[in-house]
């Protein structure tokens, strides 16, 4: 059995040695301080994260996918980020996907042994029919998960771009990915519990990558999520209505009527109003501009 005791994510944190005897307030302050240091650690991988953002944007522009692969907390966070893209950016669910060792049951309960087989990770990549348009993003905060390494290796064989995310130095656990992101958050408050700082760092990085890639695709206008799925619930209908009001300064009732006339699409509604066209022509204009609002609305202002 491999001894992982030397890994950064497995070391004991000297600041939390007596956390079991701390008051509630002391424990809170300690965790909060450790989390603040974690955010600074994420900032240090700016260059690598920006490289991945451009890689993912290029993949999306060519009809490719971003596919996360992980086990345990890492796998769940990949699935979480993937599942939030369609309602936030109105993307095809196939565009960003998450693979977790142990399958969907592992989202609700720990299936610890599922991560131990590299061949299962490779098989998952084959099942997704990964090709050279895709980006496969392996997540393993401790760096050693065989399932993830197997997936990365197979993805490279199939021509995909690959990313490896861990919270240990590459010298301790090397990888063969095109880009290696190493967020060194240090030992956890509870030794080895990477659902804490390492997990939070993972979520920050994944959210940043997909959000900026989607912005570059035109899914955001100014700072508004104009591709939001307003058909999902009443809250998002309200948000869509308010976005229209914010951009074109009309009353709420008129904005809601415009949203309804557009089929619930904020972008389409804004183009309909700006260009004084019907829904079909507005949709065609958006298609011609690859879904980007700025060239249409800014040209109208000029």
Helix axes 46-61, 197-216, angle to 10 degrees: 40
Please say if 115 is a catalytic residue: yes
Helix (H, G, I), strand (E, B) or coil at 8: helix
Q: Pick from 45, 109, 120, 38: which is nearest to 76 by CA?
A: 109
Q: Pick from 138, 117, 122: which is nearest to 66 by CA?
A: 138
At residue 2, the pLDDT reads 62
Q: What is the pLDDT along the chain (302 residues), one digit of tens a residue?
A: 565 657 778 778 888 899 889 999 999 999 999 999 999 999 999 999 999 999 999 999 999 999 999 999 999 999 999 999 998 898 999 999 999 999 888 888 877 677 888 999 999 999 999 999 999 999 999 999 999 999 999 999 999 999 999 999 999 999 999 999 999 999 888 888 889 999 999 999 999 999 999 999 999 999 999 988 787 688 889 999 999 999 998 999 999 999 999 999 999 999 999 999 999 999 999 999 999 999 998 865 54
Per annotation, catalytic residue among 34, 115, 153, 188: 115
With the C-alpha atoms ordered 182, 183, 187, 188, is the resulting torsion angle positive or negative? negative
At residue 47, the pLDDT reads 98
Reported pTM? 0.91
At residue 8, the pLDDT reads 79
Please say if 288 is a catalytic residue: no
At residue 261, the pLDDT reads 94
Per annotation, catalytic residue among 10, 48, 84, 257: 84
Q: Pick from 160, 134, 138: which is nearest to 149 by CA?
A: 138
User: How far apart are alpha carbons 140 and 161 in whole angstroms?
Assistant: 17
CATH number listed for the domain at residues 234-301: 1.10.8.1080
The CATH topology of domain 8-216 is Rossmann fold (3.40.50)
At residue 21, the pLDDT reads 94
Query: Per-domain residue ranges for the chain?
Result: 8-216, 234-301
With the C-alpha atoms ordered 206, 208, 213, 219, is the resulting torsion angle positive or negative? positive
Q: Find out whether 202 and 141 touch, Cβ atoms under 8 Å.
A: yes
Question: What is the β-pairing status of strands 66-70 and 161-166?
Answer: unpaired
Tokens found for residue 221: 């206008």
């Amino acid at each position: 059995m491999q001894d992982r005791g030397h890994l950064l994510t497995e070391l004991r944190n000297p600041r939390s040695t007596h956390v079991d005897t701390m008051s509630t307030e002391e424990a809170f302050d300690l965790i909060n301080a450790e989390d603040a240091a974690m955010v600074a650690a994420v900032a240090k991988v700016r260059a690598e994260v920006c490289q991945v953002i451009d890689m993912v944007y290029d993949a999306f522009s060519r009809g490719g996918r971003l596919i996360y692969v992980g086990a345990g907390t890492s796998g769940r966070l990949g699935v979480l980020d993937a599942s939030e893209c369609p309602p936030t950016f109105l993307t095809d669910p196939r565009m960003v996907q998450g693979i977790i060792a142990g399958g969907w049951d592992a989202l609700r309960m720990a299936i610890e042994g599922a991560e131990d087989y590299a061949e299962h990770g490779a098989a998952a990549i084959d099942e997704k029919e990964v090709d050279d348009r895709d980006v496969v993003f392996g997540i393993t905060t401790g760096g050693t998960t065989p399932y993830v390494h197997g997936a990365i290796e197979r993805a490279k064989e199939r021509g995909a771009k690959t990313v490896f995310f861990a919270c240990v130095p590459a010298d301790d656990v090397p990888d063969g990915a095109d880009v290696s992101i190493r967020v060194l958050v240090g030992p956890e408050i509870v030794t080895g519990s990477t659902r804490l700082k390492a997990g939070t760092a993972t979520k920050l990085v994944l959210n940043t990558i997909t959000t900026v890639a989607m912005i570059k695709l035109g899914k955001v206008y100014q700072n508004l999520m104009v591709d939001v799925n307003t058909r999902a619930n009443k809250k998002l209908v309200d948000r869509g209505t308010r976005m229209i009001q914010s951009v074109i300064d009309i009353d709420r009732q008129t904005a809601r009527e415009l949203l309804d006339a557009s089929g619930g699409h904020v972008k389409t509604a804004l183009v309909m109003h700006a260009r004084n066209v019907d829904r079909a022509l507005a949709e065609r204009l958006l298609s011609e501009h690859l879904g980007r609002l700025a060239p249409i609305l800014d040209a109208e202002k000029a």
